[in-house]
Structure 1
Amino acid sequence: MKTYLIGYDLNKTGQDYETLIEKIKEASNGFWWHHLDSTWIIQSNSTTIQIRDFLLPYIDNNDELLVILLTGEAAWYGFSERGSKWLIDNLI
């Protein structure tokens, strides 16, 4: 499986994040990391375009969505031991 970063901004007041979050988890087949607002790291066999297209029905036309294939090099600070362990196990 490949590892992807998903970021989004829902720009309309009162939007429902729950459905989008459920779909991000679904796209990840259970392999996901979420320790920052509006930022997820998932593992999937899909492509960036397939993930984007899967999530598009759950955001509005004025929202922003970013899906990036990660290379494995990373640096971070301030995350819990559990969050850091997931990153080490799945990125490096």
Structure 2
Amino acid sequence: MAMMLIGYDLNGPDGDYDRLLDSLESFGSYWHCLDSLWLVETRMSITQVRDSLWMHMNHGDEILVIDVTGAPASWIGFNQECGDWLKDNL
């Protein structure tokens, strides 16, 4: 399984935010403690993740997907639940 970092901006006035959130949550194991930034665990490639989420976005929106599997990470300021998830999954 790979860990993907996903960041997005919904810039259009008619974005379907609920469908995008449902799609992000469907990955199963995810971290979402920052507004438009997610970490998800998946067997999909970065392109497959991007394309599966782009279906719920509009032309003026933006999305970034980065495979961070095994990458070092450092954080501060998150509550216990958010910090524990990062410690246990990264």
Structure 1 length-normalised TM: 0.91
Which is richer in helix?
1
- For residues 53-83 of structure 1, the C-alpha deviation after alignment (integer angstroms, 9 at most, x for no partner) is 1111100011000110003310111101110
Pick aligned residue for 1:59 from 52, 57, 60: 57
Please tell me whether residue 50 in structure 1 is matched to residue 48 in structure 2.
yes
| Paired residue total | 89
Shift of residue 16, structure 1, vs aligned partner: 2.9
Matched residues, percent identical? 40
Please tell me whether residue 7 in structure 1 is matched to residue 7 in structure 2.
yes
Where structure 1 has 5 or more consecutive residues not aligned to the other structure, the ranges are none
Where structure 2 has 5 or more consecutive residues not aligned to the other structure, the ranges are none
Instruction: Output the aligned Cα RMSD.
Output: 1.1
Q: Which runs of 4+ in 1 moved over 6 A?
A: none
Structure 2 length-normalised TM: 0.92
Aligned counterpart, 1:80: 79
